[in-house]
A and B are shown apart, each in its own frame.
Chain A
Amino acid sequence: MATAVSPDVRTKYEAVIGLEVHVQLLTVTKAFCGCSAKFGAPPNTNVCPVCLGLPGALPVLNRKAVEYAVRAAMALNCTMRETSIFARKNYFYPDLPKGYQISQYDRPVAEHGYIDVAGVNGATRRIGITRLHLEEDAGKSMHDGLPDSAHYTYVDLNRSGVPLVEIVSEPDMRSPDEAYEYLTRLKEIILYTGVSDCNMEEGSLRCDANVSVRPRGEQKFGTKAEVKNVNSFRFIREALEYEIERQIETVESGEKVIQETRLYNPSEGKTYSMRSKEEAHDYRYFPEPDLMPLVVDAKWQAQIRSRLAELPEARRQRMITEYGITAYDAGVLTATRSLADQFEEAARSAKNPKRVANLLQSEIMGRLKMRGLAIEQSPISMKGIAMSADLVESGAISGKMLKDLYDFAFERNQDFPAVYEQKKPQQITDTTTIEKMIDEVIAASPKQVEQYRAGKKTVAGFFVGQVMKASKGQANPALVNEILSRKLDA
């Protein structure tokens, strides 16, 4: 970092951060025409009169895009606006074919939401969401790497008209870490709703940050700068760190922060001035006359809400109570929706769900960490963990054996069932040996024998368990059952 603000100076100031996040919706077709919204097609092949902005073409709203936007808004605790209005945002740019973007302005589809993020010292901080609105994406200008790039800019309009939601936060964040945490939670929630893949490389999640500094204790906001072009969460944290220090330095040196748009250059870790407010656009918003007001009535809202998947925070709470797992485990297990789904499937089928969580925590996480793997990359699936938990539970394998099997699974990059099949202990099928073990168990448990003979046949399970334990899980269960009932019923 180029700046060097001392910690003493730094603590005199407080940063104020608000984020504007654009999320591309995973609809099959574009927001206002029937073209495919798929990423990666050859340039200018997913286009039609509407998304090319040809004279006379008119937009037709994609209801799926509305559903997705509303679903995202509900997941972000927003209040829905029953009647919202599309507006035109007017500006000239080569990749904006109509010379305006269809967006929403003073009456967005949803407002007043929030996300709870983990603050310092384990406290929760509530970050407000000002609004969520639906809009269309622009095309893409390509400046390099094409035959005539030295003289021309190329334009690809495949992305033109792809539906987006813009999620604008309140200026509620006070540190780059908090902004990072907010984005992480936001992305997690959006992924849970399934309305976007939030892929930053492909541009399906984009973030601009408004940041200002003020002396600690001051109520008034300082002059803000908007930082654009930040395309990873890590860069956002870095860009904010840099920008906060730059602004503090500016103020400390007696100068004024200028209201402007700045671009982040990740290779240098610096932000650069792009345009000042004097050159700022006047977007001349006005209601889009080609589209009727968008009405999402109570019935439609209820329909969308009924399809809303359980959200991460609620799921964590439920998992803690339902499976008796710790808050930490619940956090790990809900990192993605599919992981949580896998866990729950495994936990529900396992005899002891808590053991599944414990094994994950005590045996899997460490092994993953050693190899630098994410939990999704674990060779042992949740189903595998569930199976091994059951085997330990029934006494079929010992804790020691389980560790060996896990090591083997990680070495071979194989799932547990496959490993168990190869390595499972040789079975004892010799009836004399089994009979001997059964006799010993019966002799050691006169009380249970008495109960059994008095008619309480369920006690048989106890004897099976004891025999399996005695044989370290190696006795053939069918034989154990057969011999046991013969001896007990005799």
Chain B
Amino acid sequence: MGGDLDLDVLTVSSARAAVQERQTTAATLVENFYSKIEAKDRQAGQINAYLNLTRERAFEQAKQLDAIVDRGDPLPPLGGVPIAVKDVMVTRGIRTTAGSKILGNYVPAYDCTAIQRLEQAGAIILGKLNCDEFAMGSSNENSAWGPVRNPRDLSRVPGGSSGGSAASVAAGTAVAALGSDTGGSVRQPAAFCGVVGLMPTYGRVSRYGLIAFASSLDHIGPLTKSAKDAAIILRHLAGRDVMDTTSADVPVPDYEQEIGKPVRGLRIGVPKEYFPAEMDSEVRAAVESGLKLLAEAGCEIKTISLPHTRYAIPTYYVIATAEASSNLARYDGVRYGYRSPNARTLSEMYRRTRDEGFGAEVKRRIMLGTYALSAGYYDAYYLKAQKVRTLIAQDFLAAFKEVDSIVTPTTPTPAFKLGEKSDDPLAMYLADIFTVTASLAGIPGISIPCGNSKDGLPIGMQILGRHFEEATILRVAHAFEHARASAGR
């Protein structure tokens, strides 16, 4: 039963329906996904999206869901939907590494709120997904457990840091995935792998149990095959959590219903700073044709300006690394995780544990951030960056007086080759150039596929919205998907 179900096209609603209508059982569905993972993901040279399969937990959940169906009761809203989660979200009793050797043997004592909420809504957690170490990277090459490959072209990176999340959805080894986005880590890999990636408003989704990279910039968000799937999942992720006092007490709408509303008359801003003369022509063409489709759907397209955009990358890297240098101080070998066996004194234990446990990029960022916070440099770096952050946020506030959403390319180029930029951190940082602004402003953003390069690589279009107006960007994304499908592109 259920063996003929095409896992590649399974969506959140069709997966639930298949279990509810007894086309398959939840247990069979999980079994089939694990077979597919074994076939496509686990061998050398394959995708390598999964670090850890949570079989026991998945089958236990499946059993309970099947019992609900057997009783003839309706499944919960995400009942039977197989979802995988980035390995920066802690899972009780299940190894969680954040892609780092320093947490190689770490087994958390509690569950991340986001995962707990999805499971309560009936989702089945298949496993933990590979990512850049502590979510620091734009190619997934910084994982201590080997890079993830892009399912669309195995010689290319899937993007990062949620590379495993984007790759698993693109490869159909999960119906949906959770990622985390600090400067583009959900949206950029979504664009590279040709899936949908949503970064909700800062505070929309609890960060409790998300291993911190940069606390004021970290967001949990879904990666899915469609805007509709993202809408359904967001509804269950969103909302105040007493365990995270930075989570917002703002009502959560029924996004699935909201996205059905027409987009005619919506004003869409196109910031000129995101289309520089020297930009990749294929990316430009894809996004411009996307804008044309939106115009045809009745949206009003307006050119706007976000004047502080060019300061975003340095601002982001000062703030993110400063916070990271403090957030990663707890990995000291004292209580959990890796401890260097080669130390005789306390300070040697600290130095060796951290030297041997962290990868190069993480160490680089800890050093940058430590420097930015040091006495004598704080005002010039951290404080200045905070001021610029405010200016960038004000750019958006001003723009959103004139437009309802903003459309940009998600990335400057399509997915690059493995190893292509790994020796050039600065070039790598520039891969985030179109995504860090929204992270700094705390506004929601979504990346959706809008075309392909001539090599067949996906190109992503980013839609940004006002604080807590995820419904608007999901609506635009949903309408765009329909317009694109009808246009046959």
Bound pair: A and B?
yes
Q: Are B110 and A49 in contact (CB under 8 A)?
A: yes
Tell me, yes or no, whether B405 is within 8 Å of chain A by CB: no
- B281 to chain A: which residues have CB within 8 Å? none
- A100 to chain B: which residues have CB within 8 Å? 326, 329
- B350 smallest CB distance to A (angstroms): 6
How far does the alpha carbon of A186 sit from the alpha carbon of B139 in the complex, in Å?
58
- B206 smallest CB distance to A (angstroms): 9
Instruction: Say whether chain A's binding surface is mostly helix, strand, loop, or mixed.
Output: loop
- A83 smallest CB distance to B (angstroms): 15
- B207 to chain A: which residues have CB within 8 Å? 56, 58
Q: Are A57 and B335 in contact (CB under 8 A)?
A: no
Tell me, yes or no, whether A379 is within 8 Å of chain B by CB: no
How far does the alpha carbon of A90 sit from the alpha carbon of B335 in the complex, in Å?
18
Q: Are B245 and A58 in contact (CB under 8 A)?
A: yes
Q: Which of B79-97 contact A (CB under 8 A)?
A: 89-90, 96
Tell me, yes or no, whether B146 is within 8 Å of chain A by CB: no
- Supplied contacts A284-B374, A289-B323, 11 more A-B pairs, CB within 8 Å: A56-B207, A56-B212, A58-B208, A58-B244, A59-B245, A94-B346, A98-B330, A99-B326, A286-B323, A291-B245, A292-B246
Q: Which of A40-80 contact B (CB under 8 A)?
A: 49, 52-61
Q: Are B89 and A286 in contact (CB under 8 A)?
A: no
Most central of A57, A59, A60, A285 by chain B CB within 10 Å: A57
Tell me, yes or no, whether A218 is within 8 Å of chain B by CB: no
How far does the alpha carbon of A60 sit from the alpha carbon of B214 in the complex, in Å?
18
Q: Are B209 and A290 in contact (CB under 8 A)?
A: no
Tell me, yes or no, whether A97 is within 8 Å of chain B by CB: yes
- Residue in contact with A286 in the complex, picked from B108, B112, B326, B328, CB distance below 8 Å: B326
Most central of B106, B244, B329, B375 by chain A CB within 10 Å: B329
How far does the alpha carbon of A195 sit from the alpha carbon of B207 in the complex, in Å?
33
Given A92-B350, A286-B382, A289-B216 in contact, is the A54-B109 Cβ separation under 8 Å? yes
Q: Are A286 and B334 in contact (CB under 8 A)?
A: no
Tell me, yes or no, whether B215 is within 8 Å of chain A by CB: yes
- A149 smallest CB distance to B (angstroms): 15
- A59 smallest CB distance to B (angstroms): 8
Q: Are B216 and A92 in contact (CB under 8 A)?
A: no
Q: Are B335 and A56 in contact (CB under 8 A)?
A: no
- B90 to chain A: which residues have CB within 8 Å? 54-56
- Residue in contact with A99 in the complex, picked from B214, B242, B330, CB distance below 8 Å: B330
Q: Are B112 and A56 in contact (CB under 8 A)?
A: yes
How far does the alpha carbon of A54 sit from the alpha carbon of B332 in the complex, in Å?
12
- A49 to chain B: which residues have CB within 8 Å? 109-110
Tell me, yes or no, whether A22 is within 8 Å of chain B by CB: no
- B330 to chain A: which residues have CB within 8 Å? 53, 55, 97-99
How far does the alpha carbon of A92 sit from the alpha carbon of B349 in the complex, in Å?
11
Residues of A in contact with B (beta carbons under 8 Å apart): 49, 52-61, 88, 90, 92, 94, 97-100, 153, 155, 282, 284-286, 289-292
How far does the alpha carbon of A460 sit from the alpha carbon of B243 in the complex, in Å?
74
- A54 to chain B: which residues have CB within 8 Å? 90, 108-110, 336
- A61 to chain B: which residues have CB within 8 Å? 245
Q: Which of B238-262 contact A (CB under 8 A)?
A: 242-246
How far does the alpha carbon of A292 sit from the alpha carbon of B245 in the complex, in Å?
7
Q: Type the 1/0 row for B206-231, where 1 means its CB is closer than 8 Å to any CB of A.
A: 01111110111000000000000000
- A292 to chain B: which residues have CB within 8 Å? 245-246
Instruction: Say whether chain B's binding surface is mostly helix, strand, loop, or mixed.
Output: loop
CB closest residue in chain A, given B112: A56
Q: Are B215 and A53 in contact (CB under 8 A)?
A: no
Closest 9 CB pairs of A and B: A99-B329, A289-B215, A284-B373, A289-B216, A56-B209, A55-B211, A56-B90, A53-B330, A282-B375
Q: How large is the interface on B (under 10, 10 to 19, 20 to 34, 35 or more residues)?
A: 35 or more
- A290 to chain B: which residues have CB within 8 Å? 212, 215, 245-246
Tell me, yes or no, whether B311 is within 8 Å of chain A by CB: no
- A284 to chain B: which residues have CB within 8 Å? 325-326, 370, 373-375, 378
Given A92-B332, A292-B245 in contact, is the A282-B350 Cβ separation under 8 Å? no
How far does the alpha carbon of A97 sit from the alpha carbon of B333 in the complex, in Å?
10
- A94 smallest CB distance to B (angstroms): 5
- B112 to chain A: which residues have CB within 8 Å? 56
Most central of A60, A88, A285, A289 by chain B CB within 10 Å: A289
- A97 to chain B: which residues have CB within 8 Å? 330, 334-335
How far does the alpha carbon of A98 sit from the alpha carbon of B211 in the complex, in Å?
13
Most central of A56, A60, A98, A290 by chain B CB within 10 Å: A56
Most central of A55, A58, A155 by chain B CB within 10 Å: A55
- Residue in contact with A56 in the complex, picked from B210, B323, B328, B329, CB distance below 8 Å: B210
- B372 smallest CB distance to A (angstroms): 9
- B109 to chain A: which residues have CB within 8 Å? 49, 54
Given A100-B329, A282-B374, A286-B378 in contact, is the A56-B242 Cβ separation under 8 Å? no
Q: Are A99 and B108 in contact (CB under 8 A)?
A: no
- B215 to chain A: which residues have CB within 8 Å? 289-290
7 cross-chain CB contacts under 8 A: A55-B90, A58-B207, A58-B245, A153-B346, A155-B334, A282-B375, A284-B378
- A421 smallest CB distance to B (angstroms): 58
Q: Which of B360-391 contact A (CB under 8 A)?
A: 370, 373-375, 378, 382
- A275 smallest CB distance to B (angstroms): 13
- B370 to chain A: which residues have CB within 8 Å? 284
- Residue in contact with B98 in the complex, picked from A55, A88, A90, A153, CB distance below 8 Å: A55
- A55 to chain B: which residues have CB within 8 Å? 90, 96, 98, 103, 106, 108, 211-212, 330
Tell me, yes or no, whether B322 is within 8 Å of chain A by CB: yes
How far does the alpha carbon of A77 sit from the alpha carbon of B412 in the complex, in Å?
58
- B334 to chain A: which residues have CB within 8 Å? 94, 97, 155
How far does the alpha carbon of A479 sit from the alpha carbon of B326 in the complex, in Å?
85
- A43 smallest CB distance to B (angstroms): 13
- A92 to chain B: which residues have CB within 8 Å? 329, 332, 350
- A88 to chain B: which residues have CB within 8 Å? 326
- A99 to chain B: which residues have CB within 8 Å? 326, 328-330, 332
How far does the alpha carbon of A292 sit from the alpha carbon of B247 in the complex, in Å?
10
How far does the alpha carbon of A53 sit from the alpha carbon of B374 in the complex, in Å?
23
- A265 smallest CB distance to B (angstroms): 22
- A282 to chain B: which residues have CB within 8 Å? 374-375
How far does the alpha carbon of A155 sit from the alpha carbon of B332 in the complex, in Å?
14
Q: Which of B303-351 contact A (CB under 8 A)?
A: 322-323, 325-326, 328-330, 332, 334-336, 346, 350
Q: Are B208 and A57 in contact (CB under 8 A)?
A: yes
CB closest residue in chain A, given B242: A60
- B346 to chain A: which residues have CB within 8 Å? 94, 153
